[in-house]
Structure 1
Amino acid sequence: MADRFRAVSIEELPSHLILEILCSGRLSAVDLVCLELTSKTFGGSNGLYPYKFRSLVDFAAFQLCVSHLSYSRISLNAQRELFDRCGGKWKRVLRFLQSVEQSSQMVETSAGNMQITTGKYHTFLTSNSSVYSCGSGLCGVLGHGPETTQCVAFTRIDFPPLTHVVQVSASHNHAAFVMQSGEVFTCGDNSSFCCGHRDTSRPISRPRLVEALKGVPCKQVAAGLNFTVFLTRQGQVYTCGTNTHGQLGHGDSQDRPTPRIVELHEEVGSVVQIAAGPSYVLALTDNGAVYSFGSGANFCLGHGEQHNEFQPRVIQTFRRKGIHVVRVSAGDEHAVALDSYGFVYTWGKGYCGALGHGDEIDKTTPEILNSLKSHLAVQVCARKRKTFVLVDGGSVYAFGWMAFGSLGFLDRAASDKVMRPRILDSLRAHHVSQISTGLYHTVVVTNRGQIFGFGDNERAQLGHDTLRGCLKPTEIFVLEIADDADPILESN
């Protein structure tokens, strides 16, 4: 009987079973590299597959790439070019695909799944389904109740039992949270209906379920200045709030007190990502097209003029050039996009060098950032007159306005301009997995689950109690205490 249940080593398992485990989809590209380096079983050929794959892990990485949605959506030529851009290494292709996928949601770190989200003067940290907030709590945006006007350290937000947060978005005075169930909660100033509730008599100081979206499971939210965009699991878009510039996408300028679906033509396809600027929206579809609507100020819509668009309109530059976009970011006065090859495009107002082209000239339509063409970008992040680009390997490039040190360069003054992409030496020792920037502060998460913040801390938006500002990225530590108490985050 004992022989029937004897322990076996991984080397004794059949190769096809090992391959099945490797291709389960639960492993990251980094996991595969570690397995390949630590075991001959994973690093050997085992005669199971064609000679062009150097190991079981290499073949597993190929299989995972082929089955990845983002990879399957691009053309065969694009797939081959991406493979070449990644040095002919399937593990690097997989790392690129996984990094882009996580860039607007939770990222996997050695300390668990995390997401960092910055608003105007506040920051939200999601760690293993719990959410913490710090900074200015005006209008209840931090979600801690009417008595909280500021949190000097990250404090856990109370949600109903058994709810798990998977994505957060925050703007000036309101925030939205997507649950694992697809439900959406919002809090903050609802005077413009941006929280999706009809009650506008007082701020919503604790997260409240958006009743109008019951039975409509969502996967992403994007908070604008005084409106909110909701993306469903079915690829449909809902909006609510102020509609002065057509930012709700319904073909008019009428405000909407509760979320209403944006009507899209059948040929548009399914929307896979959304981004909201102060008064405009970018919507990315599964076929790599970008649609924009709302305020045309500063050329943020990418159509070559500054007219408002009251319904989604495709950005023709990408379509004409056959560019398949995989991520977009909507800044205050400019926008950024990332394509399937890891190339970066910027457009909008060029003030302070926010577009990265070495000048302050406005770009009325998207233009590729030539100085970053040799790098494989995995995340783009735009905000007030500044831009961050995260590249494969965990390095961060930044350009635009220093904005009280929130650009992260230690050798530049607080109001300086950086006209071209420049690597952040202050973060070079770390592998950054995600970056988010507010009005005057920036926060990053590393692959080890470390959190670093820099820039203005006047309202404790970096989670430090005593510092007014951080020119140098300063780590924030999460100290887990008793289960029935809130974790405390302290600065070093």
Structure 2
Amino acid sequence: MSELNEAPSPADEEEVWSWGAGTDGQLGTSKLQDEHLPQLLSLTSLPSISMLACGGAHVIALTSGGKVFTWGRGNSGQLGHGDNLNTSLPKLLSFFDDDYFISQASAGWSHSAFVSDSGSLFTCGNGSFGQLGLGDNISLTSPAKVSYFVDKSVKMVACENQVCGFGSGKRGQLGVSSERTKSVNLPCAVSGLEDVEVVRIAANGDHSAALSANGELFTWGRGFCGSPDVQTPQCLPSYESFRDVALGWNHALLLTVDGKVFKLGNTLDKQSEKQQLQEGSSETLLEKVHGFDGVKVVQIAAGAEHSAAVTESGEVQTWGWGEHGQLGLGDTNDQTNPQLVSLGSGDLQTKETKVYCGSGFTYVVRRKQ
């Protein structure tokens, strides 16, 4: 799933598009239905978006003024509004009011996390695996401050260059021990990254990943394509230098500094995965994504089993699982190679395009001059 923290210029004009699974209101269209083609949203109540995060079936938007809006599925309290109700349109999260300027957020399957500009971490939603980091397994319908970080400054999930994990650890995705850990309900330092300058982290399903300042990728948790689970971060052998990583349930996307896209795992090739399991292969396979030859990619995103990328020219391309229309191509077909998504006429000059993937839905934010 996807997240971004980058403030737009107030003078910019903004378009927000959504498509895919929508029965819980996560598309922001006010309709409880899937959409197979991109829908241009009318979000007049939502000020300029500085960040968007998509989860299992809910969305978090931050404004340039540090306000928080959430919508979509709320059955576990992940919207933070003090109830377990779904909301089909963006709703202001009044909990923070004027006391906190929220600068970053992340959306899990059914829980949410918010970071203030002062470095405080708040969580809400499903806590059954300890994923709220509050020392228990209780679910919350309103955000609560994670006291473990009260004397530390949080940026994403990194704490003073120390990566911490909490929640389900059944496949080693917490990276806190060489032994299997069912769950952890308080933040614990990830083993093996103490001497690594981490600049980007990602987590989805049973996988976790981190990028170092020099472009190395570290992964831990469930192995890709049948390779063994990894309990502590392992550096991926590669001649490439990476600048971004996005994780799905069964695959990872990697973006190199020169704009090439690689993948680990293949959500649509089950026969290939079965072949690896039969042969007992433990090697993690890194494969270049075909379809971007001669094209520089500037951003990537991953849903549960679909992928998206933005090219240097601002085009959005999608591929993977398409059952709910999350590829935005007008049908529910799967695609093994990137396909161009049509987003209107584009009469105004596009300044910036960003794509975000939830589990089975997709958002695009375009800012224009």
TM-score normalised by length of structure 1? 0.64
Other-structure match for 1:141:
26
**Structure 1 residue 129 displacement after superposition:** 3.7
Other-structure match for 1:388:
253
The Cα offsets for residues 259-289 of structure 1, whole Å up to 9 and x where unpaired, read as 111113566x32122xxxxxxxxx113x321
**Structure 1 residue 318 displacement after superposition:** 1.0
- Checking the alignment, whether the CA contact within 8 Å between 1:107 and 1:433 is kept in structure 2 is no
Residues 255 and 266 of structure 1: CA distance in aligned 2, closer, same or farther (over 3 Å): closer
Other-structure match for 2:360:
none
- Checking the alignment, whether the CA contact within 8 Å between 2:167 and 2:183 is kept in structure 1 is yes
The gaps in structure 2 that reach 5 residues or longer are 277-283, 349-363, 365-369
Question: Which is greater in Rg?
Answer: 1
Mapped partners of 1:399, 1:157: distance in 2: 33
Match of 2:136 among 233, 242, 252: 252
Other-structure match for 1:105:
4
Other-structure match for 2:319:
454
Other-structure match for 1:270:
153
**Structure 1 residue 292 displacement after superposition:** 0.8
Residues 330 and 174 of structure 1: CA distance in aligned 2, closer, same or farther (over 3 Å): same
**Mapped pair 1:345 → 2:218:** yes
Mapping for residues 399-410 of structure 1, pairs under 5 Å: 399-400=264-265, 402-404=266-268
Mapped partners of 2:230, 2:302: distance in 1: 22
Other-structure match for 2:76:
192
- Checking the alignment, whether the CA contact within 8 Å between 2:46 and 2:90 is kept in structure 1 is no
- Checking the alignment, whether the CA contact within 8 Å between 1:403 and 1:415 is kept in structure 2 is no
Other-structure match for 1:87:
none
Amino acid in the other structure paired with 2:181: Q
The gaps in structure 1 that reach 5 residues or longer are 1-102, 114-126, 274-282, 354-359, 405-412, 484-488
- Checking the alignment, whether the CA contact within 8 Å between 2:6 and 2:51 is kept in structure 1 is no
Other-structure match for 1:210:
93
3-state SS of 2:214 partner: coil
Mapped partners of 2:6, 2:338: distance in 1: 20
**Mapped pair 1:290 → 2:157:** no
Amino acid in the other structure paired with 1:346: T
Amino acid in the other structure paired with 1:140: G
3-state SS of 2:202 partner: strand
More displaced stretch, 303-312 vs 452-461: 303-312
Other-structure match for 1:318:
193
Mapped partners of 1:464, 1:421: distance in 2: 27
Other-structure match for 1:416:
272
The Cα offsets for residues 158-209 of structure 1, whole Å up to 9 and x where unpaired, read as 3235701121111222111111111111111212111001233x42111111
Mapped partners of 1:188, 1:466: distance in 2: 23
Amino acid in the other structure paired with 1:449: G
Amino acid in the other structure paired with 2:312: N
Mapped partners of 1:265, 1:148: distance in 2: 38
**Mapped pair 1:132 → 2:17:** yes
Residues 153 and 237 of structure 1: CA distance in aligned 2, closer, same or farther (over 3 Å): same
The Cα offsets for residues 394-446 of structure 1, whole Å up to 9 and x where unpaired, read as 0011111x212xxxxxxxx4653484112223223211111111122111011
**Mapped pair 1:308 → 2:164:** no
Other-structure match for 2:358:
none
3-state SS of 1:163 partner: coil
**Structure 1 residue 232 displacement after superposition:** 1.4
**Structure 1 residue 104 displacement after superposition:** 4.7
Amino acid in the other structure paired with 1:235: G
**Structure 1 residue 457 displacement after superposition:** 2.0
Other-structure match for 2:353:
none
Amino acid in the other structure paired with 1:431: K
- Checking the alignment, whether the CA contact within 8 Å between 2:248 and 2:306 is kept in structure 1 is no
**Mapped pair 1:366 → 2:249:** no
Other-structure match for 1:172:
56
User: Alignment RMSD, CA only?
Assistant: 2.5
- Checking the alignment, whether the CA contact within 8 Å between 1:107 and 1:434 is kept in structure 2 is no
Other-structure match for 2:65:
181
Mapped partners of 1:265, 1:136: distance in 2: 35
| Aligned length in residues | 334
Mapped partners of 1:243, 1:387: distance in 2: 25
Mapped partners of 2:103, 2:336: distance in 1: 35
- Checking the alignment, whether the CA contact within 8 Å between 1:130 and 1:165 is kept in structure 2 is no
Other-structure match for 1:332:
205
Residues 415 and 173 of structure 1: CA distance in aligned 2, closer, same or farther (over 3 Å): farther
Residues 237 and 107 of structure 1: CA distance in aligned 2, closer, same or farther (over 3 Å): closer
Mapped partners of 1:107, 1:393: distance in 2: 21
The Cα offsets for residues 315-340 of structure 1, whole Å up to 9 and x where unpaired, read as 13111xx1111111102111111011
Q: Which has the higher helix share?
A: 1
Mapped partners of 1:329, 1:315: distance in 2: 13
**Larger RCO (CA within 8 A; separation ≥ 6):** 2
Other-structure match for 2:300:
435
Mapping for residues 459-478 of structure 1, pairs under 5 Å: 459-466=324-331, 468-478=333-343
The Cα offsets for residues 57-95 of structure 1, whole Å up to 9 and x where unpaired, read as xxxxxxxxxxxxxxxxxxxxxxxxxxxxxxxxxxxxxxx
**Structure 1 residue 218 displacement after superposition:** 1.2
TM-score normalised by length of structure 2? 0.84
Residues 250 and 144 of structure 1: CA distance in aligned 2, closer, same or farther (over 3 Å): same
Amino acid in the other structure paired with 1:439: A
Q: Which has the higher strand share?
A: 2
